[in-house]
Structure 1
Amino acid sequence: MATIGQALTAPEAGWQRIEDTDSRIQYGTSNVSGDVHYNAGTIKFSFYGTKLRLIYDNNSADTIKVDGVSYAITPSTSVKKALVCEVLNLPLQEHVVEIKTTTGLDWLSQFNAIDIDSTGYLVISIGALLPAPESGWKRYDNSNSAIQFIGSGWAIDTNSGYYQGSAKFTKTPTDSLKFSFIGTKLRIISINDVWSALTATIKIDGVAQVYTQYHNNGNQVLVFEKTGLSQSHHTIEIIASGATSTLNVNLDAIDIDSTGRIYHPDEVTKIEDLTIGKRIRCHYQSTISGTVGIFSDMGREASDFIPVASSATPNGDFYFIMVEDWNRQKRLIADRNIQSSISWDALNSLGIASGSGLPIDILNDNDNLTTIRLPTGGASATDKDNEWDKYIVDSTLNGTITRGDNNVWNYMSGSTRFGSWTSSTESGKSGEKILRPNPGGSGTDPTARGNSLTNSVYPYNGFRPVLLIDSPLLNKSFILFNGEYKKWVEGRPTIEESFSLATPKMTSNITPSGIAFSESYFNVNFEPWKVFNQIDDGEGYASGNGSGGKGFLGYQFPSAVVIAKYVIRSMTGSNHLDKMPKDWYFEGSNDSTNGTDGTWVVLDSRTSQIWTTITTDKEYIISNPQSFKTYRLRWTANNGVATYTDINELMMYSYTPYTPSIPSSWKSISTTLPSVDTFKSEGISDLSILDRKPTTFTFPMDNDGVSGTVLGRGKVFKEKVDLKRFFDVNSLSVK
């Protein structure tokens, strides 16, 4: 057990060390030399746990408060990495720590590190640097197309220290930004420097509050946090209320729940909700340069957005924006070039460049016909009867956008314009087609026009599709009975509650499907797939020699799945039971590629799990199961062996809840003739469900009287059959 004043170069058992460079620790003055912060003035951080140790290289008169209570810091001037303060027996909760240090250049305060519980963690606080989202969060950059910037003052600042290299700022106090999201929590990440305004205003679901934007100079600073929201759709507006002619309000990034998603204020997810000015998300991927790719995932977030400059082999999302709704046809135009370096001829070879376009199945329904084609661009500068001028240059889309706004149509990035192929031929030049605006030029003028040979391939020329959605006449019906329009609703049988083993029987780390992974393994005989092979084979999986009681092991499914239960099986030999995990977290991730990276959400945690019998299954239910692609068991201690950890089998189960049966029934729709939309959404599309089906009925033979007395022997039996109720009696069997 370490004592105050002695050197403590590594954390003891039950502790973990956090270095002074951790971004969650805030310094009044960032004086750094080697592995210490010296004479910082103030040091602030918060942690979750029950105990704390301070490690210093030098201390003369620093003081500390934990949750407002003062504790002693022992002076130390000759011992490096000396334990100078220890606080024990705190309640298991979040604690706020503030250290006051000497200032100036005398090096009398040299803060090196802190130690806290091995199962604890630092809690990010407002004003701290947050260069990456924490576990349970995901980050969206300010450049994400779902964020709507309103006002003419917004500009872009670039810096390698910003998240993804850029931030947006404004010095106009009436400027704002909007987005919405589904989730329960929100964080705003900003840049803090001498040009940052002190405050800004945020509205969450219409409720306004002022937050402090400036804290300490630094990049990627957490300036606002809101947790505890309902799991639902929330609208967000940030107003640059604190901006002045010299001070700006800025946005670097947004963090929300790792399972959430942000939406543009005008975004919808269903075709039937589209109106002029609304937009719907879509995915596009082309794996071969110069070749048209595949459209998919309409209304869903499948990946990040395609960059404005696009590429020859794009793989990302974009928006289709509704510009027209006429004669049962919805017309939408992509908000950007979705593919560059593709010729007009390549598009024309599939019929995309023609007026009729290319029919595609993008909606996966039978109620709409969808076609992709190029926009029209006008044969000359005076020809304004074309889609580019009508919708992109001149339209406000019923007041939802500003005419020709590059923030909406993304025809320019930086100082470079990107031209979109059109179906229009340049007047007097039959071998050339119109591009709008002219590619490669500068200036934000959407009226500009250019032309190029149909076989030309340039990075500034691109494919911006028009999507036509036609609603053909549909054969939908209702049954009018007793003055009500009704539809027949088929029932469903009872579904019993059940768990199903989701992990396959693995024969290697990658076969038959998915990927088994671990932080380390002992040798090739104890690889991670051994816990998923459904065989009790000796030690099964063993972590790397020297890994001690820490490590992780998991499985990545081909696609996301909800795991509601996991089972751990003990070893086949009693001499290995002390190598089994004792304390662990069961976690899920949707963005991890190797089990180490990505954002992880804790789904279950266990401590003091003791194993006393061989080949024994312990079952653990996840109280709040969620959908993830990758799952892992991350243990922080085993049952005593310092060299490595063993696990025989790890099984993950999906869950089917009990669902009661629902009988078939007639559903009343209205007492008046339903509207066209109601016919489309509710009408019976297949009347064969009303076909009469052969049915056997059994009648007791009695005297057909009111009493229903059964007749005795030697009597004549008779029974009436109500033909108003039963049709087409095909056979009669009397027994």
Structure 2
Amino acid sequence: MKNFKNFIGKVALVFCMALIVGVLGSESVFAANVGDQLNSPEAGWKRYGAEDKNFQYSFPPVWYGNKAFSDGTNKLLSVSFNFKGTKLRIIGYSGGDRSSDLSCIIDGKEEKFNQATVSQDNSLNYSKEGLENREHSVKIKTNVPGSYTGLNLTAIDIDVSGELKPYNENIQPSTLQIILNVEPEKNKIRLNETVSANLTIDNIKDIAAEDVRIKYDNSKLQFLGATEVDGIKLVKNDAKDGELRLILASKGSSNVVEAKKSLLKLNFKGIAAGDALVDVTKGRVSDGITMEKDLTDDQCGQATITIDNEALTDVNKDGQFTLLDLAIDGRHYSEDPATLTQYNTDIVVNKAIDDDDLTKIGEYMLANPNYKF
């Protein structure tokens, strides 16, 4: 009987301890997910409403209760602020008629999020944790001009010990330098225009191979392919919708990375208006001796390509650049474009048909995947 009582006592003690651990650990077990309704901040978080004076709106908000909505103008919109802490949540109204193409930019690093989900107030639209415990600059923005489907904000949640501050994009960034980056040759293009972006490596030496993953906004950009550069072999080019996996190797010791270097040219075409993000999401490098290491998120860069609403028109207006377009401009070289209304001869707009037009048509022709020779 004594042994039985001891056994029951031990079981009760274990049960109580498990219950205590479960209660204390409930914050992590029941942590909210994006898409959940959060009518109040969870333990470890505190909330700032959209009416707080530290929020900087690029538009005059229309208020529905405590919710700030865009004013119906057909333009890109943003809300900016700073905060001190390690985590951030964006709380807003979600619904099928809201925008599905929004971005949250923290310290210059952009991530997409979506308010076009189940219809509900106080919806957790975006969540970011694991940031360095310091002051961060934040911009929430639309990527496509829109009125009703623009931007709305109810509140943000941050660390319970954190602080909301006025917007200042010039705060001290991370001391880590970007190693793998995407650098477009132009940051603004027109619809149907092609653009090349250099995949570059910098701020590191003695590197002989790279493994890179890139995400791009395939709702606004079409990936046309990659072009090798001298001294670098493209070993693998795995292209899926919106994602690239690229493995590259130096051709000999003379091509090992010792300074900033272009590894590859990525070719895109603008297919819809708005801001399109091209983001190096993961990187791994090796020196070809003993070292192989993964890069941190801060060491992987990104770029935004803006596609203008105005469409790029080829010379004979048949929808694509070919040798015929080049020949038309060649035949009418130095003539006045205004007298050739049946054509769009002034590709590089300067009211003349000149070398710049011929060169640009040649670039577009070679970038046209339908032009094969």
| Pairwise TM-score range, normalised by the shorter structure | 0.3 to 0.5
> For the pair shown, which has the larger CA radius of gyration, 1 or 2?
1
Normalised by the length of structure 1, the TM-score is: 0.19
Normalised by the length of structure 2, the TM-score is: 0.37
